[in-house]
Amino acid sequence: MSGRDIDEVDVLVAGAGLAGLTTAAVAAGGASPPPEVMVVDTRSVGGRARTDRRGDFLFNQGPRALYRGGLGRAVLGRLGLTPHGGPPPLSSSYAWHDGRVERLPDNGSRLATSSLLGVRSRARLGLLLSRLGRIDARALGDRSTQDWIDSLELRPDAQGLVTMLTRVATYTPDLSVLSADAGVRQLQLALVDGVDYLDGGWQQLVDGLADVAERRGVEVRTGARVTSLAPAPAGDRWLVGLGDGREVTASSVVLALGSPAATAAVLGRDPGWELGADATAACLDLGLARVPARPVLFGLERPLYLSTHAPAARLAPPGRSVVHAMRYGARTAEGDAAELWELATAAGIEQADVITDRFLRRMVVAHSLPRPGVGLDGRPAVAVAGFEGVFVAGDWVGPAGLLADASLASAETAGQLAARHAPRRGRHPGRDPVVPAS
């Protein structure tokens, strides 16, 4: 090695978003003695899960909801975290259809009574919804979500409603690029278990995970980024280069960098992953003086969504509200912004109601959607082939979950594997290997 000072840790985690913080907390929670864990990120912790304050209002990075029955909530529970918030105001939900606004029932089981449907469509859709929870979604990875919807042989009005609900559950405008095992499972989670908006925004999760990591002795180092990865000259360790010129060696390295492209760049060669399309969105975040007349509004023909996140969750002062509007599939900033303001107007929002607003022209909602034909099982594995002791975590990794559920589930696995692999020979010779957290 060179004469430069090189830090040594047992587990290094690159990235301090939800996946990175979860990985670090899990890895550091093994049997005594625990591994020494460091998290490195260019920014403050949180990544896409951070919540911003605009005056008296709290804005997530676009609309975010935590699935009650999802894998992510279970992972958080095993770390001792119990998310708190409230459900969306579905008792006041509407569909925007052919320029008209029509009322929707307040839950999936009564959706078939909607005036948007003919009599025969109501019966067919009611049957589908009654059996939705019993469908084995895991067996559907060989087809697309759109193929599955087509196979239901619903009339056009009923098919339009199922498509709308599936877009909302998956954040995906083109259901032909999403495998049905992922799409159907998300639809089940949305209609059977429901979601919560979180008090204080998703910063609640960031702060909770950071607190668990800190209590378990994790060192968080911001202001630097991981730029390179190579075998260390001595022993079965990795030499990790940071953008500020410093270096760290680690027995285990977890790359939780957000995107597959950023991850592959650090690996230094093509890992051979077969990746699906990213899901993108344009978002309009609004802090309002009052709750809108139509708190929840879904586009039926167009991939549009609007929901009032406060007062369902504590994100605004009493009597005021936070509304998020989204177009699934970002196009041009000018066109998307105009369409979202049109949606807000249809929800009963007037310019005089708007205290503060923010437009996010293009967000990556989820990286590399599970592809039809291979499904969730075809996503990159947590353990990187050809890189012993190197692992990845994120919303595009592992055979389980979508969106934040995938990030948290893959992070838990990565933390367990990283702790198991790290023998801690460099700084603590003679210490026993870590038993991964259960």
- Whether residue 248 has pLDDT greater than 60: yes
pLDDT of residue 36: 94
- Whether residue 330 has pLDDT greater than 60: yes
Average the pLDDT over 201-222 and give the result. Answer: 96
pLDDT of residue 265: 95
How does DSSP classify residue 284? E
Q: Which of 381, 388, 411 is nearest to 15 (CA)?
A: 411
pLDDT category at 33 given cuts 50, 70, 90 is confident
pLDDT of residue 326: 97
Summarised one tens digit per residue, pLDDT across range 253-278 is: 999 999 999 999 999 988 999 899 99
- Whether residue 220 has pLDDT greater than 80: yes
pLDDT of residue 32: 67
Kindly report which listed range (5-9, 136-140, 264-268, 341-345) carries the lowest average pLDDT score: 5-9
pLDDT of residue 5: 60
Helix, strand, coil percentages, rounded to 5, for the chain: 35, 25, 40
Q: What is the mean pLDDT of the chain?
A: 90
Average the pLDDT over 110-117 and give the result. Answer: 68
Q: How far apart are CA 230 and CA 387, in angstroms?
A: 10
- Whether residue 114 has pLDDT greater than 80: no
Kindly report which listed range (237-251, 335-349, 392-406) carries the lowest average pLDDT score: 237-251
CB 438 within 8 A of CB 79: no
Q: Which of 167, 71, 159, 80 is nearest to 120 (CA)?
A: 159
- Whether residue 337 has pLDDT greater than 80: yes
Summarised one tens digit per residue, pLDDT across range 377-425 is: 999 999 999 999 999 999 999 999 999 999 999 999 999 999 999 874 4
Average the pLDDT over 199-220 and give the result. Answer: 96
Q: Which of 206, 150, 216 is nearest to 183 (CA)?
A: 150
- Whether residue 176 has pLDDT greater than 50: yes
In this structure, is the dihedral angle defined by the CA atoms of residues 143, 145, 150 and 154, taken in order, positive or negative? positive
Q: What percent of the chain stands above pLDDT 70? A: 92
| β partners of residue 90 | none
- Whether residue 369 has pLDDT greater than 90: yes
CB 262 within 8 A of CB 14: no
Domains observed in the chain = 6-48+203-276+372-421 (3.50.50.60), 109-187 (no CATH)
- Whether residue 319 has pLDDT greater than 60: yes
pLDDT of residue 16: 94
pLDDT category at 17 given cuts 50, 70, 90 is very high
Q: Is residue 381 classed as helix, strand or coil in its secondary structure?
A: coil
pLDDT category at 117 given cuts 50, 70, 90 is confident
Q: How far apart are CA 35 and CA 18, in angstroms?
A: 20
Average the pLDDT over 50-78 and give the result. Answer: 96
pLDDT of residue 437: 37
Average the pLDDT over 3-18 and give the result. Answer: 85
Q: How far apart are CA 419 and CA 433, in angstroms?
A: 8
Q: Taking the CA atoms of the chain, what radius of gyration do you get in angstroms? A: 23
Q: Which of 352, 354, 283 is nearest to 324 (CA)?
A: 283
Q: Which helix (H) or strand (E) holds 213?
A: helix 203-215
pTM value is 0.91
pLDDT of residue 358: 97
Q: Is residue 149 classed as helix, strand or coil in its secondary structure?
A: helix
pLDDT of residue 434: 34
CB 123 within 8 A of CB 112: yes
pLDDT category at 426 given cuts 50, 70, 90 is very low
Q: Which of 426, 414, 422, 376 is nearest to 396 (CA)?
A: 376
Q: Which of 253, 283, 246 is nearest to 363 (CA)?
A: 283
